[in-house]
Structure 1
Amino acid sequence: MNNQVFNSKGAEIEITAIHPGEILLDEIEARELIKKEFAEQIGIFPNNLSLIFAGKRDISAALAIKIGKALGTGGEMWHNMQSAYDFQQAVIHEMETV
């Protein structure tokens, strides 16, 4: 599988997956939700939500479902973002050990 992406001038562009916590933070702020109340709504402590925002805690499949339900986006989207991020991190790790 070829994972290379090129711009219009033929130069390779590095594509990086963003931790879904960063996107979740943007979404919560755009909707002007109160972070503490959102954490309670999805059944986690506010501190754990902050760790997700910082990319220091992952979004499990079960949590992805809760986030999707709370935001009306569907959980699969959040789970797929986490999977893409995890895969990219594994690729980076593999490249560093070669």
Structure 2
Amino acid sequence: MNNQVFNSKGAEIEIEAFHPGEFLMEEIEFRQILKKDFANQIGIFPNNLSLIFAGKRDISAPLAIKIGKALGTSGEMWFNMQSAFNFKKAMQEEYEQAYRSSSKYSL
């Protein structure tokens, strides 16, 4: 599977990962759903929904299914966005650790 994205000139574009909570917040606002009503609909406290919006809480598989049902979308989509974010974050952390490890010997 190729995850590369190219611009119109053929140059590769680096896609930044974003927490799916950001997209969820935009979706709820676009649909003009009150956050407390949505939290109630998916069975979580409004504060926990705010933590998801802020990227401080992940969307688990069961929660992804509930979000999908509530919005008429695929729960798998929400879970895949979370997985992609987690993977991208882990890759970035690995890169940073490798950079720190290699730079301490090049002084």
Structure 1, unaligned runs of 5 or more: none
Which residue of structure 2 lines up, in the alignment, with residue 14 of structure 1?
14
| Structure number with larger C-alpha Rg | 2
Identity %: 76
CA RMSD after TM alignment: 1.6
What is the rounded CA distance, in whole Å, between the counterparts of 1:2 and 1:77 in structure 2? 19
Which residue of structure 1 lines up, in the alignment, with residue 93 of structure 2?
93
Q: For 1:45-73, what per-residue CA distance to the aligned partner results, in whole angstroms no more than 9, with x for missing partners?
A: 00000000011110000000000000010
Structure 2, unaligned runs of 5 or more: 99-107
Q: TM-score, normalised by structure 1?
A: 0.90
Q: TM-score, normalised by structure 2?
A: 0.83
Q: Which moved more, 1:5-14 or 1:40-49?
A: 5-14
Which residue of structure 2 lines up, in the alignment, with residue 67 of structure 1?
67
Q: For 1:35-92, what per-residue CA distance to the aligned partner results, in whole angstroms no more than 9, with x for missing partners?
A: 0010011000000000000111100000000000000102000000000000000100
What is the rounded CA distance, in whole Å, between the counterparts of 2:41 and 2:84 in structure 1? 25
1:86 maps to a residue whose letter is N
Q: How does 1:41-60 map to 2 (within 5 A)?
A: 41-60=41-60
After TM superposition, where is structure 1 displaced by more than 2 Å over at least 4 residues in a row? 1-13
Q: Which has the higher contact order (CA 8 A, sep 6+)?
A: 1
Task: Count residues in correspondence.
Answer: 98
Task: For residue 8 of structure 1, report the CA deviation from its aligned partner.
Answer: 3.5
Task: For residue 16 of structure 1, report the CA deviation from its aligned partner.
Answer: 1.1
Which residue of structure 2 lines up, in the alignment, with residue 24 of structure 1?
24
